[in-house]
Amino acid sequence: MKEKIKKIIQKAVNELQEKEKWEDFKMSDVVVDYAKNEKFGDYSSNVAMISAGKIGKNPMKIAEKIVALLNFYIADKKLSSMFFFENKKGEKKKVFEKIEAVKPGYINFYLSNDYWQNLVAVINEQKEKFGNSEIGKGKKVLLEFISANPTGPIHLGNGRGGPLGDTLANVLIKAGWQAEREFYVNDYGGQIEALGHSILKDKKAQYRGEYIDELAIDFDFEKITNEGARAVGEKAAEKVLKNLIQPTCEKLGVNFDRWFSEKKELHNQNKVDEIIRFLKEKKFTYEERGALWYESSRFGDDKDRVLVKKDGEKTYIATDLAYHKNKLERGFDKLINIQGADHHKEAEVVRNFVEKILGQSNKLGIILNQFVRIIKDGREVKMSKRAGTYFALDDLLNEVGKDAVRFIFLSYSPNTHINFDINLAKERSEKNPVYYVQYAHARINSILVKSQIKNSGIQINSQSKISDLKLDLLIHPKELSLIKELNKFPELVEEISESYEAHRLPQYAIKLADKFHSFYASCRVLNEENSELSAARLNLVNAVKIVLEEVLKLMGVEAPKKM
RNA sequence: GCCCCCGUAGUUCAAUGGAUAGAACACCAGCCUUCUAAGCUGGAUAUCUAGGUUCGAUUCCUAGCGGGGGCACCA
């Protein structure tokens, strides 16, 4: 609808530009959005205020001219496909109740009750397909997230990316994309050796904590002391992945399509050597102090990066570049990386490589999550695998549950540092917004179950019944307000698929639940004395159920039938 | 010193340059003989400071103050 209104405005503006010789202005700056307040209608646009400067007229005057022209179109039945629609009963109805220019120069659009009421029928017909979009049709996207090192449990820094990545994948799929979830397993390099030393508990041991002791139990020490730290580390890393990381991801409700092994799929296949050769050929490298350097400073980096150390080992940067080249070679139209903000420099290097050297601009989207600070008993819990103090994602899942973890983490913008108070989260677990949303679903379910038990002839519309259904009875302000909230869902899906602002999802869920609870309090659904109204309201309630379930599904949160 | 993120209600978070800055928790006052009170209705409380751009700034720019993170031949 936003797009449709924008088109209508564009049409009017074009005509006025010709007639009144208005200067041209950037239509892309024009915003059509939901009205901030119900008294300003349903949608509003700032077109007059944006263009006022260029045109050199009072914005209010411009708005009035546009509105007059739009109203003329309606009266004259011009562009009737824009201003009229056919409802599910096959009747022709007008889309807009009123279009008006207001104060500083806003143009406000009021949609007709017919339009809103028909939306209820539309949702019930489309069911879980409501909100599906085709803007990603035919395109493939790869989301890489969590990618915690296999040297210990997933901590919350990495864990934060879990709900976000998984949910974004869900949203993108709903928006028509073909999405894959990938976990990059750093099973190679110095950290693996350090893990080995830690198991052996020799002088180079770095990691501590209970899990190290538990891992060590499985090793035959007589045997492994001869194997060397690296071999021990590799075995231990496999166990960490299998026993700690994967179960936690499962508990979080995240299913990866692929666990990409750095060792097996890059190093063993000589992919890292290839990238080094490639960069050498392109003359982006030089040798100095026995090491091979990559001239990342040519793209604004504050210094160059080492690709091959003087001991011959390749650095993580080299591997990372190889990894991203590999991702692109797999034919994705878009790559989304979700990583901790401590990697922002590295992210820049990778981005420059992808865009400037591989020439693939706009393909790589990087979301940097800021840190999660854990506060327990009024004190910050310092996170360090090396010191053995950390609060793992698994612990949190055990304490507050998957739904609350996902919902809470999703609620934050990635740019925000999270201050996560464990005590509060536990204390509030029963007053958590996630329960507020789930409760709405449970209430809906309860109504629907009761309506069937009573068998009072009140039914959710089936195709054959649509002609009898009196959706025009839905005129209560709470009913309309609820329908208007449902209407926002498809646009929300599309917008998130482009902006990646997944935190708008929990916000929307709360808002929708809020409107439902409020409706519930003032509009009784089941009423045998007025079965027509009951039927209409049941259809509305079912539409809410459909959308609520979709939203929860996108977030990976359960929709309980009873609470 | 350089780079990135943040500074909004008592607290934790929202707000594509727009019309009365939204929620949640906590607080105050009401509401259960009818579909789940894990609910509803009402109330009080906020944009770090100083400049600038703009018809209009929480949002953009500059400086300052405060918090977090990064500046390895670790990953």
pLDDT confidence band for A451 (50 / 70 / 90)? confident
Task: Take residue A259 and report the two structure tokens written for it.
Answer: 């666990």
Domain contains A225 = no
pLDDT (0 to 100) of residue A457? 47
> Is residue A167 a contact partner of residue A557, using CB atoms and an 8 Å limit?
no
CA–C1' span, A415 to B59, in Å? 15
Best CA proximity match to A406, nearest among A257, A550, A512, A249 = A249
pLDDT confidence band for A501 (50 / 70 / 90)? very high
pLDDT (0 to 100) of residue A53? 73
Same domain, A265 and A279: yes
Same domain, A79 and A58: yes
Task: Take residue A356 and report the two structure tokens written for it.
Answer: 């400037």
pLDDT (0 to 100) of residue A374? 80
pLDDT confidence band for A16 (50 / 70 / 90)? confident
Compute the average pLDDT of residues A339-362: 91
Any idea which nucleotide's C1' is nearest the CA of A305? Answer: B73
A28: CATH: 3.30.1360.70
pLDDT confidence band for A104 (50 / 70 / 90)? confident
Q: For the segment A195-213, what is each residue's pLDDT rounded down to a tens digit?
A: 999 988 888 888 888 888 8
Same domain, A259 and A357: yes
pLDDT (0 to 100) of residue A555? 96
Residue A279 pLDDT exceeds 60: yes
Last residue of a domain, one of A396, A412, A427: A427
Number of domains into which chain A is organized: 3
What percent of chain A lies above the pLDDT cut of 70? 94
pLDDT (0 to 100) of residue A282? 92
Task: Take residue A489 and report the two structure tokens written for it.
Answer: 């869902």
The one-character DSSP state at A36 is S
Strands in A285-288's sheet, in edge-to-edge order, are A285-288, A291-294, A305-308
CA–C1' span, A501 to B47, in Å? 22
Domain contains A494 = yes
pLDDT (0 to 100) of residue A386? 54
Ranges A91-105, A218-232, A372-386: which has the least confidence: A372-386
pLDDT (0 to 100) of residue A381? 74
CA–C1' span, A493 to B52, in Å? 38
What counts of helices (H) and strands (E) characterise chain A? 23, 17
Same domain, A420 and A383: yes
Q: Which of A62-66, A145-149, A156-160 has the highest mean pLDDT?
A: A145-149
| Token pair 């209430």: residue | A443
Compute the average pLDDT of residues A491-520: 94
Ranges A13-17, A486-490, A541-545: which has the least confidence: A13-17
Compute the average pLDDT of residues A539-545: 93
> Which strand B bases fall within 7 angstroms of a protein CB?
2-6, 12-16, 18-20, 23-26, 34-41, 54-56, 67-75
The one-character DSSP state at A334 is E
Compute the average pLDDT of residues A342-358: 92
| Protein residue closest to B3, using CA and C1' | A345
CA–C1' span, A442 to B37, in Å? 14
Same domain, A369 and A476: no
CA–C1' span, A300 to B63, in Å? 25
Compute the average pLDDT of residues A102-112: 88
Same domain, A163 and A90: no
Higher-confidence position of A473 and A275: A275
Task: Take residue A529 and report the two structure tokens written for it.
Answer: 């004395």
Q: What is the pTM of this model?
A: 0.92
Compute the average pLDDT of residues A348-354: 93
Domain contains A44 = yes
Compute the average pLDDT of residues A124-152: 94
Q: What is the spatial distance between Cα A60 and Cα A67, in angstroms, rounded to a whole number?
A: 10
Residue A186 pLDDT exceeds 90: yes
Residue A360 pLDDT exceeds 80: yes
Same domain, A449 and A329: no
How many C-beta atoms surround the C-beta of residue A47 within 10 A? 27
Same domain, A74 and A165: no
Residue A466 pLDDT exceeds 60: yes
For A460, list phi and psi in degrees, rounded to 5.
-70, 140
Q: For the segment A32-85, what is each residue's pLDDT rounded down to a tens digit?
A: 999 888 888 899 998 888 888 777 778 888 899 899 999 999 988 777 788 899
Q: What is the spatial distance between Cα A457 and Cα A451, in angstroms, rounded to a whole number?
A: 9
pLDDT (0 to 100) of residue A427? 62
Q: For the segment A211-240, what is each residue's pLDDT rounded down to a tens digit?
A: 888 888 888 776 777 778 888 899 999 999
Domain contains A49 = yes
Higher-confidence position of A365 and A423: A365
Q: What is the spatial distance between Cα A277 and Cα A263, in angstroms, rounded to a whole number?
A: 19
pLDDT (0 to 100) of residue A130? 95
pLDDT (0 to 100) of residue A464? 47
| Protein residue closest to B32, using CA and C1' | A521
Any idea which nucleotide's C1' is nearest the CA of A186? Answer: B75
Q: What is the spatial distance between Cα A264 and Cα A182, in angstroms, rounded to a whole number?
A: 15
Q: Are strands A291-294 and A305-308 parallel, antiparallel or unpaired?
A: antiparallel
Q: How many residues does chain A have?
A: 563
pLDDT confidence band for A429 (50 / 70 / 90)? low
pLDDT (0 to 100) of residue A556? 96
pLDDT (0 to 100) of residue A383? 59
pLDDT (0 to 100) of residue A456? 46
Q: What is the spatial distance between Cα A355 and Cα A357, in angstroms, rounded to a whole number?
A: 6
Q: Are strands A334-340 and A364-369 parallel, antiparallel or unpaired?
A: parallel
Residues sharing a CB contact under 8 Å with residue A330, sequence separation 6 or more, in sequence order: A142
Same domain, A328 and A454: no
Compute the average pLDDT of residues A178-196: 93
Buried b (16+ CB within 10 A) or exposed e, A67-78: bebbeebbeeee
pLDDT confidence band for A336 (50 / 70 / 90)? very high
> Three-state SS across A134-153?
CCCCCCEEEEECCCCCCCCC
Last residue of a domain, one of A72, A94, A111: A111
pLDDT (0 to 100) of residue A91? 86
A516: CATH: 1.10.730.10
CA dihedral A289, A294, A298, A301 (to 10 degrees): -90
pLDDT confidence band for A178 (50 / 70 / 90)? very high
Last residue of a domain, one of A392, A427, A462: A427
> Is residue A234 a contact partner of residue A241, using CB atoms and an 8 Å limit?
no
Same domain, A502 and A515: yes
Report the mean per-residue pLDDT for chain A: 88
CA–C1' span, A208 to B26, in Å? 39
Dump the DSSP string for A244-299: IIHHHHHHHT---SEEEEHIIIIITTTHHHHHHHHHHHTT-EEEETTEEEE-GGGG
Give the structural domain span for A182: 140-186+252-427
Any idea which nucleotide's C1' is nearest the CA of A373? Answer: B68
Any idea which nucleotide's C1' is nearest the CA of A340? Answer: B69
Compute the average pLDDT of residues A467-489: 88
Any idea which nucleotide's C1' is nearest the CA of A194? Answer: B74
